[in-house]
């Protein structure tokens, strides 16, 4: 039966992910934070690898306040202060997750850097930052967790997953022409999804990318030129959180194997029977702004 309300109305006492451990990069704020809290409501253990040890002067939230929010939502949380660009920090997070919770069932590559400047205006320091966080960081965290995801796959009735917040691979030249450095870094994340889906699928590990169909209300959008106008046509981060939950919990039914590992939030929620998305709008009635790469 088709639902007309969003999964936000679910009881805080649901425990569909009880005992499952999720390792997420970032998560102090924005979409990652919303996903972590949503999964905690379902009883998951959340291990957050993030740099935000102390408050930022302009942005709310640290890895510690995020863990507090996770635990307030009903899950268990573990903060790992570290940088996804450093291999030793990635290994520390994986080891901490296994020591604290006994394994890893889901990896979420959420951490990402954005700079939409054209090639001539983009300094190489910012280019390297995007490549190191977006491309290399997603590869490194996924790689480090594979042995534990393989162990998780041996459990009957459960499918471990790597979920990366990156777009479908779209080779339309306009996306390269608008912001080449950023496009290269985000598509590298998606290429990681494509490759790992083929590599790990036969072992029972599912790999997907999830991308919003519209702009999402985040600090990253607010800080862009014209950000206030873009926010008015955005949706709340909760839509991505509910889509991630639907994928991980298995409540999204695609009627068989997916032909592509790339999904949008709208596609996932439709597969979960969620058709009315109006509650996610930041400004109800305002025309929604499609996200880039679609």
Catalytic residues: 182
- For residue 193, CA distances in Å to 120, 170, 202 come to 29, 14, 14
Q: Taking a C-beta distance cutoff of 8 angstroms, is the pair 248, 159 a contact?
A: no
* Pairing verdict, β 76-81 and 206-211: unpaired
Strand intervals (E) in the chain: 21-25, 45-50, 76-81, 106-109, 161-164, 206-211, 262-264
Tokens (6 digits) for 65: 């306040």
Rg of the chain over Cα atoms, rounded to whole angstroms, equals: 18
Tokens (6 digits) for 59: 């942005």
Strand intervals (E) in 101-160: 106-109
82 vs 176: CA distance, rounded Å: 31
78 vs 33: CA distance, rounded Å: 13
Look-up: residue for tokens 């029972």?
204
Which of helix, strand or coil describes residue 165? coil
Count the neighbouring beta carbons within 10 Å of the beta carbon of residue 170: 15
């Amino acid at each position: 039966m088709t639902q007309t309300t969003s999964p936000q109305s679910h009881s805080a006492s649901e425990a569909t992910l009880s005992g499952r451990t999720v390792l997420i990069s970032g998560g102090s704020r924005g979409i990652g934070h919303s996903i972590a809290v949503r999964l905690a409501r379902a009883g998951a253990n959340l291990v957050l690898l993030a740099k935000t040890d102390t408050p930022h002067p302009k942005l709310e939230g640290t890895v510690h306040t995020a863990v507090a929010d996770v635990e307030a939502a009903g899950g268990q949380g573990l903060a790992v202060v570290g940088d996804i660009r450093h291999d030793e920090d990635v290994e520390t997070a994986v080891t901490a997750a296994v020591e604290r919770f006994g394994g890893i069932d889901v990896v979420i590559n959420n951490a990402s850097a954005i700079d939409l400047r054209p090639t001539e205006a983009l300094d190489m320091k910012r280019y390297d930052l995007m490549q190191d966080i977006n491309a290399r960081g997603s590869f490194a965290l996924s790689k480090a967790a594979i042995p534990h995801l393989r162990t998780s796959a041996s459990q009957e009735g459960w499918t471990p997953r790597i979920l990366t917040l990156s777009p479908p691979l779209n080779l339309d030249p306009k996306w390269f022409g608008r912001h080449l450095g950023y496009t290269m870094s985000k598509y590298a994340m998606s290429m990681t999804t494509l490759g790992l889906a083929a590599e790990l699928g036969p072992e029972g590990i599912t790999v997907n990318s999830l991308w919003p169909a519209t702009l999402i209300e985040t600090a990253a959008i607010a800080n862009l030129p014209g950000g206030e106008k873009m926010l008015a046509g955005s949706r709340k981060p909760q839509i991505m959180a509910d889509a991630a939950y639907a994928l991980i919990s298995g409540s999204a039914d695609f009627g068989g194997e997916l032909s592509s590992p790339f999904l949008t939030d709208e596609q996932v929620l439709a597969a979960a029977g969620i058709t009315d998305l109006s509650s996610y709008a930041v400004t109800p009635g305002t025309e929604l702004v499609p996200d880039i790469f679609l």
